[in-house]
Structure 1
Amino acid sequence: MRKLLVLGVAAGVLLAGMLFPVAGGIGLLAASVSDSAVGSHTDLETGVLPAVTTVKDRNGATIASLYQQYRVPVDSDRIAPAMKAAIVAIEDRRFYEHGGFDPIGALRALVNNSNGGATQGASTLTEQYVKNYDLYVAAQTDAERRAAVAPSYARKLKEAELAVSLDHDLSKDEILTRYLNLVYFGHGAYGVQAAAQAYFGVDAAALTVPQAALLAGMVQSPAEYDPVNHPEAATGRRNVVIEALAAQGSIPDTSAEAQPLGVVANPSVPAEGCIGAGDAGYFCDYVLDYLRKAGFPTDRLSGGGYTVTTTLDPDALAKTKAAVDEQVPPTQPHVANVMSVVAPGADAHQVVAMAANRTFGNKEGESSYGLPYEPENMGAGSVYKIFTAATAMEQHLVGIDTVISVPPSGYTSPIYRNGAGRPIPVGNAGNYRTALTLQDALAESPNTAFVKLEESTGVPPVVDMAVRLGLTSLAETPYSGKAGTPSIADVMKQQKQASFTLGVTPTSALELANVQATLASHGTWCPPTPLLSVTDRAGAAVPVTQQACTQALDPAIADTLMTGLSKDDAAGGTSAAAAGQMGWNRPIAAKTGTTQEYKSAAFVGATPQLAGAAIVFDDSASPKPICDGSPPRSCGGGNIYGGKAPARTFYRAFGDILAAQPVAPLPPTDPAYLHGTLPDVVVAPPPDQPQPDGAQPPADQPQPGGENGG
């Protein structure tokens, strides 16, 4: 039988040679099958097609579609019988009779072609499957794609041979299903499921006779028979298919010709990539970046048919996006507002939301830079005082009730030096008592107190603490920006840059949120993961290598430091005004930060349920100071503080996200970390002019790269 099939192919190939127009020239005879990336029999028999990878939120809703060809392969039982009958009627009426190559059909096509009235080509559906597989799957270059459809005798021979072989090894229904999943139907839709959804908003299983006839007719030329751009041609072609169905007895009559085309107004497939993810664009981009860094071959995502289920909470995203836009509109020049939200946990820190006031995209006024998760260059200011406090507590130098010295503005620290190595004065934003408890110092944020504390801890341990708690990019990013040079963390330690405690290094909102998540997780650091699972097209789990969680800080220190950070929203705290304005009424561990030239300001906070960080900064090529207002704007002098727009953003978002959750207390303190080995200093009376609402005036003396208070 096999020999007879091969003989049939050989005879058919002689006939196939007659089917190419003589006008094609002798050059066609010279075309070699080697010019095309013709799929092997094994490839074709396996039948694995490029398929859409779907990125979903934690509830299972689609965030984004990743593909080169928008195709959603479906099994045979999910394709309407009318669709199968229609494609056979118009493309290969002897499909169930021939063995993959049809000499009778080829001869009929030759006669019809010579009379100019053909409605069927010479190729069987099986041969068309081979050709389309070469075109859409095997071919990787433009040259290979041209060769896949070139009128080459060698190609025709190879197609026929493979068609006969496939017909021998696969059932007719399997071949038909694969063909319908493969071919292009126009408007970006590859395969019948994508086409049914694009044109009619239904699944392939629900296609009616006239709908199936329209799609089957389009296969010959999706552009010529486009029902949107050429409705008359599409209607005529559809009716030809309906008549063919009736002639074969698949339908009782041609009454379906009277029905309207019924296509949607603008047939389309989902936008490709993260740009099509709307407000989830930045989160989607982080997912892809996370997979890439985890070693997942992201080039496989666009056609691999994976399902990536993420940690994104759509409700939290909507509320976070509303909060950042409320404070800084998306169109506000030079001023970006970003926020990331992380859920603490002992074995995972899940990223539940991230947003920016900028729309994710490549158009003017949009940004495709990972604003909520990539470091911004201006820094986060006094937020970094958390790391100095944690280091001093770990070294048992102080506890949160230890009264520490607050030197006045102009204090010259032996470790705070300029680029030439000379000591320079440290400035405060306003007047402070000469001594404060560590807890009050974190809330009021005098610069001199933490630079002096850093004299006792040393700079390198503070830098290491920042990396341990979550600022991992400091240990990864070259200080010079050039690969192979020391990291930012290494340079800070080597040069003992005391300005580190004032938050001068590039900072990521996501990493800051994860710092707070580490504290809220009793000192356990975990990578901020956006993944719940990755599965292949068969539903099998695909392993993704992720960093293990580590105990970054003694749980007793972390829990006590949470209370140490709990006064920021209280009277005298740097975010008290914002908390009151936004109606905040929950315990929170928080800290504000502002950079010296007012080009950025930050706020971090954590409740037992969630941790987050908001940063407002100038995202232009030439950053300028920012003035707080409605909305914040670029200005000459600057007056933005972490307790203003960033804190308002945070309290608005978290107030809305946590509205339905119970108020949870902060963890209890540990007596071992209420006091340390450094002796308490004498407490002085409060200054004559306290700073209202945590809004502090400019420092007496500017600090190069430093922080002007909370």
Structure 2
Amino acid sequence: MGAARTTTYTTGRWPGPSTPAQRRALMKLVPLSITFGLIAALGIMPVIVTVGFLGKASAEEVLELPEDMVLPPAPKSSTLYASDGVTELATFGDQYRVELEYEDLPDVFVEALLATEDARFWEHNGIDATGVLRAAVSNYSAGGVSQGASTITMQYVRQVLAYNALTPEELDQATEDTPARKIREMAYAMAVEDAMEKEEILLNYVNTVYFGNGAYGLGAAAQLYIGKDPQELDLNEAALLAGLVQSPSEYDPINGSSEAAKNRRDHVVNRMVSAGVITRAQAQQVIDEDLSLNPQPRPAVGGGAADSSNWGFFTDYFEKWWSQQEAFGASPEERLARLNRGGYEIVSTLDADLQARAQTAIEDQLAVDSPYALGSVVVEPGTGRIEVMAVNRVYSTNTTNNGPNTSVDGELGSYPNTTNPLLTSGPGLPGYQAGSTFKLYTMIAALERDMPLSTNYNSPNQYRSQYPISGDPNCGGMWCPSNANESMAGNHDMRSGFGGSVNTYFVQLVEAVGADRAVEVAERMGISWRTAEDLGHAANAQGWGTFTLGVTSNHPLEVANSYSVLPADGVLCDPLPVDVVKTNDRDIEFESDCEQVIDAEVARAATDASRCTTGYGADSGDCGSATASYIAPMVGGPVAGKTGTSDNFSTGWFAGFTPNHAIATFIADPDSPQNNVGSSRTPLPAQASAEILKAAWESNPTGSFAPPPAALR
């Protein structure tokens, strides 16, 4: 970079100093001219302001900016990748750009641009004193501002400061028509010229300047207006594009006045004649021609999933997570602005291969046009890394052809297209009743009180509890739950009670340990309350016996992460969607905040009972029957978990884990909770989970479950 190149139109680019040393030598002659030039150029402003400023600061001081006054890089879109660092999930940014290298800049465009915008670019040090004086005389004569004196370097400074503005106040500061802004801009320009080669400044300007219609930089503009790569531009096309940078809207050849655009193009070629870079005959040939246009559609830019069916819900969660990270700004708005303009390369935690297999497993069980949502989340135990977010929906705002809401006449449902965060919580979406998956927290509360897995209760088909209740099912005002079927009645310990999901066993267990202790365990393991009803019950948890059967509203990410505590030997980690954020100067690695929330031996005992559900079998004793005994043979490795069904089959769940992955899968009607999924659909979460965990185990068939301690067997 830096060597002068010839052009087919002239003997070379602009004459002037050819080496950095020569340029800097010339710069030393400029300060006095700058001082008088500033005073004259700002004649329409209060002269005393400029004189006062320059009387206190020498030109050398203007050049030596404070260390914290650093020109930020020009904005670029950020890209979100899967955990492989290759699969692109989404881009974030509002600007269409095609980055060019210096050798990609066509001579004909550079000649046109400099002839029109900055004829002494190769000579000045960021401020063109001659241009300032000329503009000052013109402005004084006109009684206002009729000419500007901004160099390419000053324009570059202004556009970068404006593009990187994160608030309206910062944007005003970058663009306000005041002496302070002009002086700051000039100081920046001098500092930029002192720190960068001319070729680098020119390249940065050409890559960032706005050409209109959403195109930033020559690479994007050449494609958008001409349908060509920049290197293919001819004189007519180069002059048209060079003319746009002064006022893209006024000279817009596509949506504005073609006459104005042609007049501006003709002005450019006439300036090129004056500069001596083309002949009058070459200029006249262009003037006699029509505009050379071949408009192309602008590629989509902005936040969104590259493949909305597979990645959209994860991308949405990531964006919300980013907005909460204080490292990226003082407010959510500032953080998202940085995401859109920071040019970050973000390696997420999403496993692209496992996500694809999970999406297939989900849709094999339930099509995307079903009113029922079937969705799954997978996290990594001990790290909180989110590896899968799959649901039988398409992440899209276009709901025109959606099916009807099953409970509200005349309203469309959220299928197949939606942006509702079905796998995480959101406004109006606190979650879905998780049913018997919550028996885990009662079992852990009992284990923490030194009640072993062998704790036995005679469990009748229906049991009259100690908890008052006004609704059904009650016996004389007391809660009287029943088992799913009469065959479950009999003696059970924790293994058979958990594996067979015996309601009346767990009601007796929660009475023994206290419902408040079961609620406290759930909170320790990451479960939270979102509805007023749940918050009210949690505040008076001692009488909340129904809690053990999963009556609260929760979402799959929360439940999956909670179950990940068991294979992590009692460690809970915050959910994490990002591994690394790569910036221009460093890589920022992210790790989740983790905490030991239950004792490792308690976690191992709870895992042992959870093995009974899947048919994997407990290490410590007989399991009895199992609600999903087919899962272990399908997975082909160690697997544990719990099925869950809420009252009247309104929802269905499976939450479980292998040594390396934790999963939660649900089925419900998000639009109409009263639209029960039915007994035929409640097994679908377990079936989908089995397929997903099978794929996960095949990708990493390592690890095992540690046996429970003797004291808790």
Quick check: 1:407 aligned with 2:460? yes
Q: Is the 8 A contact 2:109 2:239 kept in 1?
A: yes
Give the letter aligned to residue 392 of structure 2: N
What is the root-mean-square deviation in Å for CA atoms of aligned residues?
4.9
User: 1:245–1:313: structure 2 CA closer, same or farther, 3 Å change rule?
Assistant: farther
Q: Is the 8 A contact 1:96 1:172 kept in 2?
A: yes
Displacement of 1:501 in angstroms is 1.0
Q: The residue matched to 1:312 in structure 2 has which SS?
A: coil
Q: 1:497 aligns with which of 528, 544, 547?
A: 544
In structure 2, the partner of 1:603 is 654
Displacement of 1:142 in angstroms is 9.2
Identity percentage of aligned residues: 28
User: 1:155–1:523: structure 2 CA closer, same or farther, 3 Å change rule?
Assistant: closer
In structure 1, the partner of 2:33 is 5
User: 1:491–1:328: structure 2 CA closer, same or farther, 3 Å change rule?
Assistant: farther
Q: Is the 8 A contact 2:359 2:392 kept in 1?
A: yes
In structure 1, the partner of 2:568 is 521
Give the letter aligned to residue 270 of structure 1: V
In structure 2, the partner of 1:59 is 84
Quick check: 1:359 aligned with 2:406? no
CA–CA distance in 2 between the matches of 1:201 and 1:48? 28
CA–CA distance in 2 between the matches of 1:82 and 1:404? 89
In structure 2, the partner of 1:386 is 440
Matched length? 617
User: 1:232–1:584: structure 2 CA closer, same or farther, 3 Å change rule?
Assistant: farther
User: 1:161–1:406: structure 2 CA closer, same or farther, 3 Å change rule?
Assistant: closer
Q: Deviations over 1:491-541 (max 9, x none)?
A: 253x43111110011112012212332222233322222121224332x24
User: 1:554–1:47: structure 2 CA closer, same or farther, 3 Å change rule?
Assistant: closer
Q: The residue matched to 1:63 in structure 2 has which SS?
A: strand
Structure 1: state its 5+ residue gaps. Answer: 18-27, 34-39, 115-119, 482-486, 629-638, 676-710
User: 1:217–1:329: structure 2 CA closer, same or farther, 3 Å change rule?
Assistant: farther
Q: 2:202 aligns with which of 176, 179, 188?
A: 176
CA–CA distance in 2 between the matches of 1:249 and 1:2? 25
In structure 2, the partner of 1:126 is 153
Q: Is the 8 A contact 1:378 1:599 kept in 2?
A: no
Q: Is the 8 A contact 1:566 1:587 kept in 2?
A: no
In structure 1, the partner of 2:620 is none
Q: Is the 8 A contact 2:614 2:628 kept in 1?
A: no
Q: How does 1:287-686 map to 2 (within 5 A)?
A: 287-296=318-327, 297=329, 298=332, 299-300=334-335, 301-302=338-339, 303-333=341-371, 335-345=372-382, 348-364=383-399, 365=414, 366-374=417-425, 376-399=430-453, 403-409=456-462, 411-415=463-467, 417-418=469-470, 422-431=477-486, 432-468=488-524, 470-474=525-529, 477=530, 479=532, 487=535, 490-491=538-539, 493=541, 495-538=542-585, 540-542=586-588, 546-550=592-596, 552-555=598-601, 556-567=604-615, 573-576=626-629, 585-620=636-671, 622-628=672-678, 639=679, 642-643=682-683, 645-655=684-694, 657-658=695-696, 660-661=698-699, 666-670=704-708, 672=710, 675=713
Q: Deviations over 1:534-554 (max 9, x none)?
A: 24332x244768423425232
Displacement of 1:383 in angstroms is 0.7
Q: The residue matched to 1:185 in structure 2 has which SS?
A: strand
Quick check: 1:49 aligned with 2:49? no
User: 1:201–1:397: structure 2 CA closer, same or farther, 3 Å change rule?
Assistant: farther
In structure 1, the partner of 2:11 is none
Q: Is the 8 A contact 2:467 2:479 kept in 1?
A: no
Displacement of 1:312 in angstroms is 0.9
Q: Is the 8 A contact 1:626 1:640 kept in 2?
A: no
Displacement of 1:89 in angstroms is 4.0
Displacement of 1:613 in angstroms is 0.9
Displacement of 1:262 in angstroms is 9.4
Q: Is the 8 A contact 2:313 2:395 kept in 1?
A: yes
Displacement of 1:306 in angstroms is 3.2
Q: Is the 8 A contact 1:438 1:564 kept in 2?
A: no
Q: Is the 8 A contact 1:312 1:352 kept in 2?
A: yes
Structure 2: state its 5+ residue gaps. Answer: 1-28, 51-63, 142-146, 400-413, 618-622
Displacement of 1:607 in angstroms is 1.9
User: 1:544–1:463: structure 2 CA closer, same or farther, 3 Å change rule?
Assistant: same
CA–CA distance in 1 between the matches of 2:627 and 2:458? 19
Displacement of 1:199 in angstroms is 7.4
Q: The residue matched to 2:614 in structure 1 has which SS?
A: coil
Give the letter aligned to residue 388 of structure 1: T
Give the letter aligned to residue 381 of structure 2: P
TM-score, normalised by the number of residues in structure 1 = 0.71
Displacement of 1:359 in angstroms is 3.1
Q: Deviations over 1:77-122 (max 9, x none)?
A: 78677765553244323322345236469869999xx9xxxxx986
Q: Is the 8 A contact 1:328 1:337 kept in 2?
A: yes
Displacement of 1:557 in angstroms is 2.1
Instruction: Decide which moves more: 280-289 or 94-103.
Output: 94-103
Q: Is the 8 A contact 2:113 2:242 kept in 1?
A: yes
Q: Deviations over 1:455-507 (max 9, x none)?
A: 22221222222233x33424xx57468xxxxx5684253x4311111001111
Displacement of 1:9 in angstroms is 1.8
Give the letter aligned to residue 443 of structure 1: G
Q: How does 1:100-249 map to 2 (within 5 A)?
A: 100-101=127-128, 103=130, 123-133=150-160, 135-137=162-164, 140-141=167-168, 148=175, 171-192=197-218, 207-210=231-234, 215-223=241-249
Q: Taking CA–CA contacts closer than 8 Å with sequence separation of 6 or more, which of the two structures ends up with the larger relative contact order?
A: 1
Displacement of 1:592 in angstroms is 1.0
Q: 2:121 aligns with which of 75, 89, 95?
A: 95
